[in-house]
Amino acid sequence: MITASAPGKVYLFGEHAVVYGEPAVPCAIERRATVTVEERSDGRLRVHAEDLSLDGFTVEYSGDGETPDVDVSPDLVEAAIGYVDAAVTQARDAADASDVGFDITVDSEIPLGAGLGSSAAVVVAGIDAATRELGVELSVEEIAERAYRAEYEVQEGQASRADTFCSATGGAVRVEGDDCRSIDAPDLPFVIGFDGGAGNTGRLVAGVRDLRERYPFAADTVSTIGDLVRQGERTLTEATGSDPNAVPDVVEELGTLMDFNHGLLSALGVSSRSLDRMVWAARDAGAHGAKLTGAGGGGCIVALDPTDETETALRFTPGCEAGFRAALDTEGVCVE
């Protein structure tokens, strides 16, 4: 039996635009998904899930297209186990063991579909745990690659490498197309607001695609997000090795760019009333900047604030279910 964990993430900048080859800068956060895998000989899969924005459930099935019989909404079951199935497929392929079965337990601190990279963390940790259980140890780079393939399949070709690469490596990363690499970043004062909901990633990505194809200015908006990301990366680069006293100025500049990024994402139709409320609550509380993170439509916002003011304000914001601090996690996927 092997247990592995991987971190969730927030987007400092660049979600949605990254789908079109523009750069993005996601950062791993200290909220993790843990996957425990034990081999079984009958070829079946047994998945027990906790804390994936559900009350918890267990299903057992063959993994060959059979629909699990469980008293939970079919959409929620599909969301909770679809990525596990894809991770199992990749692990079987890596170990050349197409018929092996597994008992799998998923325990996640990351709300499902909320923009914090829950699916990527589950897939990354699942692939690492399952391959190790079969006696195969993959490099971090191969785990990231196989996790990307899994998300690409589940999301019907609309995934980017950003979430899975960030979860596999930890820290701050820069992704542009197939070019993925770690970058230096100070310990940024992230504060997360969660509205208790989740956006439909496929529908939101398709909506941006439709706007981009119909209106040249929407395509320009996507390109502008890319330009903004490049400016943010330069700001982070300039902060590397600089006087620690300069970090507050760097955070202020990053916050300004985050505010711009949120406005551009709102123009592309991927924000929501609850996300906007939380963004403005954070700004009114003195945050350096705030924006939605992930696909949007509901879920989470991320703000930069070294004080307690934003976290406190979010707790009293209508529609905000939780506000919490989340430090940068420099450790990626690991064995527990």
Catalytic residues: 163
For the chain, the first-to-last Cα distance in angstroms comes to 11
Q: Comparing C-alpha atoms, which of 42, 4, 251 is closest to residue 129? A: 4
Give burial (CB, 10 Å; 0-12/13-18/19+) of 313.
buried
Polymer length of the chain? 336
3-state secondary structure of 230: helix
Q: Comparing C-alpha atoms, which of 185, 184, 187, 182 is closest to residue 169? A: 182
CA–CA gap between residue 196 and residue 18 (Å, rounded)? 25
Pairing outcome for strands 101-108 and 2-13 = unpaired
3-state secondary structure of 37: strand
Task: Provide DSSP, 111-179.
Answer: -TTSSS-HHHHHHHHHHHHHHHHTT----HHHHHHHHHHHHHHHTTT---SHHHHHHHH-SEEEEETTE
CA–CA gap between residue 224 and residue 99 (Å, rounded)? 48
CA–CA gap between residue 126 and residue 2 (Å, rounded)? 10
Long-range contact list for 63-69, CB < 8 A, 24+ apart?
A: 63/88, 63/101
Structure tokens at 160: 């980017």
